[in-house]
Structure 1
């Protein structure tokens, strides 16, 4: 929204900007000046609001908080008509709105998000009172708000992308029906024109190209490939169920992702100086970092949406060679039961063993003797373990980081899955593309161990565990928006809907600061 700089508003703001002694307050209203921080214990002084032009810029800037991902309606910006009818109340309301907006720009609209231990903020590093004092004394408060809005890392690039996505989201489109794949070269008089129109909303090259009508032509295929690459999908030009699902999602979803990305970066704590493991779950990427320096990076597989990897901050303490897998009850019930029903012999050949408890003792049962068809999917009465081996779900390495969710990092025999750009396939744990490289980094500070000795331990096929000489912090975090070199913004799908939940929290976050500041100013 832009403020209309009508002469009437300018005249009203001129009245508000005038010194208190020069104001003619409405009957029953005392003129109020904005307080300045007390100096050396002296009584607070008073400073007039800035001149009319600066006030116009301030009101205009508050009404443009959308460009920062904030909603101007949350800040109680006083109506311009109040400037003429009640200058004192207008001054109080305008300062309170400005202070609340400044506070959110500095500290984040959402100060605390339950279930998100991955969010690292350091509010103590910001002297918010100094900013509020400057707001009360500066001749150009709009410039101060601009400065606060650009504090987060990558804020300029994120704001530019937010403006672009808002413009895209304003363009209506019709959903693409059906889930069957649309292949290059196909003729589909219903879905191909809808696909072309949808991609053209964000692809100016396609929008300017000749319309091939119902034919899925090479120009449209190239545009689809660009779109798939930008959205972290398999770049093959085939428009299947996953691509159609993302194309049909509301365009406002990416607007919200950018708003969340800006807010999460506000008051973000600086990265720890010590060596650490960072796993960005929706980006399917693990990094070993030391300060700002990247030591190692690799692709990972994370939990699928119905078995989401939990966000957490823990420490990696031990390494297990040739680990067996104690299958969780849910995995046994939902994943293994159908396979036991089909072919229990094949399950035995893959190293799966079945146990029951008799007289308080665990006893092994031959899975070929069990009537698997009589077992329902609601309760699994056995314990299942998979022995270490080439076909083990955990591969040859398990990285132990104690936590209540039984989440760990591990190797995997399913190497082909790392070729896919979308890699949410696990039951919650993190599968590593290059587990041996992570092992080598961890052994650097483990006395008596080096890479050759570890490789011998792996080759022995015996299960063993070593404690690391120095545990490493591990953070499983959720960041769908990355600012890359040159300011390019890359947006990953919100696979667990955590950005959507954060956006809802931004809409409902209480702000007692507004009322508190209004009372403070009025005293």
Structure 2
């Protein structure tokens, strides 16, 4: 693509000026020349579309769209400014705006899959350039339902007047609490049954009518339906349409320019949805619920492959777990870990020897001087259960069975120390070892029952993606899940900072 001529009147200040400089360094400019292959009516239609970029989760203010009045004072300059803005917006629509990984976010852009050069060429030559923007806006997977949900959330925000419930301890059924009036007002706005019910004599009483409304709310919010208003229910009640808008804007941008898997079988884990899906293209092969890391020990976002399965694994307790979880138990009772089959070792003069926990003054140890190694023997009580699925990564994250299956009955499942617990580990194993000589489900079940620890390399090493998608598109609709790690907020800040890269490439 030939580098076009630069218009010296093009704005160069602020973010737009920085993008001009980046383009110049890349051997390109923003303007392909003032003369667009379109008339001024087409330019105005393009400008109007750009002013409506909020519908796509973007902020029109990011693109310095010239005001409509400028079309009369300087038509050529107005056309040039509109096209500059369109090129900037087109880059963000095609390849995503938040270009730099932030914290634990791994955006995984794939610009080569959809190069921007042809799009920019088409924009500069189209007689109706607004159609180029419209097509680019629909590129993200699930764009139509996500945009519809975004419009709905913006409409709800316009009339949102409900109070926030002060976050504190659990509000128990039948008790009085000063937060009950705010909770009643909040739920009355979305629950017509509660809104039509008479108030109790004591406004602070968490009565049966309000309990029923809370249960309906918990059911709709995919929370544990128990009528108790704990931290999870309080957070869900305090969620506003503005929170939903953030999730939907992030969802649209994350999907722009994202790596798109082919038809190879793969494993996708969506952390805030607590689900695992084995897919071939768009076809679901196997799905299940999972438990992921709690907020203080968040499961990282990564991409890797499953390489090995271990039967009846021992558990080498990570140092953090040993210091933060196990040491306090030992300080209260030196024999506390024996019931779970956890043994304690210490390296002395290069030799690792087992120690008697009753001979150690555990209160003399802390995070800074903890010299011990902990290991849990295989068995029913082992934290990893009977199966461990190994996938190389720098975070020592793997998938495994569990000794706490009751956690899968809970709708929100962020309880682990970072690894992923599977609700159907045997079904997962059968799928992974499909076609391996000598292996079938009866043999796998016998191997587990025998209790012997051994590992089997997988012939087919499936790719794994640990994803973070709070807006889940399914069956033509959108479910919004809790932002359990606060990554949506981080991502939105990255969008607001904007891309730190040239907006165009040679073609």
Answer yes or no: same fold by TM over 0.5.
Answer: yes
State the secondary structure of the residue aligned to 2:148. helix
Alignment partner, residue 394 of structure 1: 384
State the secondary structure of the residue aligned to 1:245. helix
State the secondary structure of the residue aligned to 1:278. strand
Correspondences of 1:68-467 after superposition (within 5 Å): 68-114=56-102, 119-170=107-158, 171-184=160-173, 190-201=178-189, 203=190, 205=192, 209-210=196-197, 212=199, 214=203, 216=206, 220-249=210-239, 251-467=241-457
Contact kept, 8 Å, 2:34 with 2:80, in 1: the verdict is: no
Contact kept, 8 Å, 2:100 with 2:500, in 1: the verdict is: no
User: 1:152-192: per-residue Cα shift (whole Å, max 9, x none)?
Assistant: 2211111111122223334233321252333455565x423
CA-CA distance at 1:119 after TM superposition: 3.9
- Number of residue equivalences: 474
Contact kept, 8 Å, 2:274 with 2:290, in 1: the verdict is: yes
Change over 3 Å in CA distance of 1:163–1:186 after alignment to 2: farther
Alignment partner, residue 19 of structure 2: none
Contact kept, 8 Å, 2:102 with 2:494, in 1: the verdict is: no
Alignment partner, residue 505 of structure 1: 494
2: distance between equivalents of 1:352 and 1:383?
10
2: distance between equivalents of 1:275 and 1:98?
38
User: Any unmatched runs of 5+ in structure 2?
Assistant: 1-7, 11-31
CA-CA distance at 1:324 after TM superposition: 0.8
94-103 vs 222-231, greater mean Cα deviation: 222-231
Alignment partner, residue 3 of structure 2: none
State the secondary structure of the residue aligned to 2:66. coil
Please tell me whether residue 488 in structure 1 is matched to residue 477 in structure 2.
Answer: yes
CA-CA distance at 1:290 after TM superposition: 1.7
Alignment partner, residue 466 of structure 2: 476
Change over 3 Å in CA distance of 1:422–1:45 after alignment to 2: closer
2: distance between equivalents of 1:446 and 1:494?
39
2: distance between equivalents of 1:382 and 1:465?
26
CA-CA distance at 1:512 after TM superposition: 6.4
User: 1:190-240: per-residue Cα shift (whole Å, max 9, x none)?
Assistant: 423311332355x26468645636365666545433433443321233222
User: 1:18-38: per-residue Cα shift (whole Å, max 9, x none)?
Assistant: xxxxxxxxxx999xxxxxxxx
1: distance between equivalents of 2:362 and 2:410?
34
RMSD: 2.8
State the secondary structure of the residue aligned to 1:444. coil
CA-CA distance at 1:329 after TM superposition: 0.9
Contact kept, 8 Å, 1:68 with 1:149, in 2: the verdict is: yes
Change over 3 Å in CA distance of 1:269–1:376 after alignment to 2: closer
Contact kept, 8 Å, 1:231 with 1:491, in 2: the verdict is: no
Alignment partner, residue 4 of structure 2: none
User: 1:60-115: per-residue Cα shift (whole Å, max 9, x none)?
Assistant: 22111111110111001112333233333222111100111122111111234256
CA-CA distance at 1:441 after TM superposition: 0.9
Change over 3 Å in CA distance of 1:497–1:165 after alignment to 2: same
Contact kept, 8 Å, 2:331 with 2:363, in 1: the verdict is: yes
Contact kept, 8 Å, 1:289 with 1:296, in 2: the verdict is: yes
Contact kept, 8 Å, 1:157 with 1:489, in 2: the verdict is: yes
2: distance between equivalents of 1:111 and 1:58?
25
Please tell me whether residue 63 in structure 1 is matched to residue 51 in structure 2.
Answer: yes
2: distance between equivalents of 1:177 and 1:115?
29
2: distance between equivalents of 1:49 and 1:204?
54
Change over 3 Å in CA distance of 1:157–1:248 after alignment to 2: same
Contact kept, 8 Å, 1:118 with 1:476, in 2: the verdict is: no
2: distance between equivalents of 1:302 and 1:420?
12
2: distance between equivalents of 1:347 and 1:512?
53
Kindly name which structure, 1 or 2, has the bigger radius of gyration based on alpha carbons.
Answer: 1
460-469 vs 47-56, greater mean Cα deviation: 47-56
CA-CA distance at 1:298 after TM superposition: 0.9
User: 1:7-52: per-residue Cα shift (whole Å, max 9, x none)?
Assistant: xxxxxxxxxxxxxxxxxxxxx999xxxxxxxxxxxxx998556445
Contact kept, 8 Å, 1:116 with 1:312, in 2: the verdict is: no
Contact kept, 8 Å, 2:305 with 2:464, in 1: the verdict is: yes
State the secondary structure of the residue aligned to 1:286. strand
1: distance between equivalents of 2:327 and 2:261?
44
Change over 3 Å in CA distance of 1:403–1:286 after alignment to 2: same
Contact kept, 8 Å, 1:126 with 1:267, in 2: the verdict is: yes
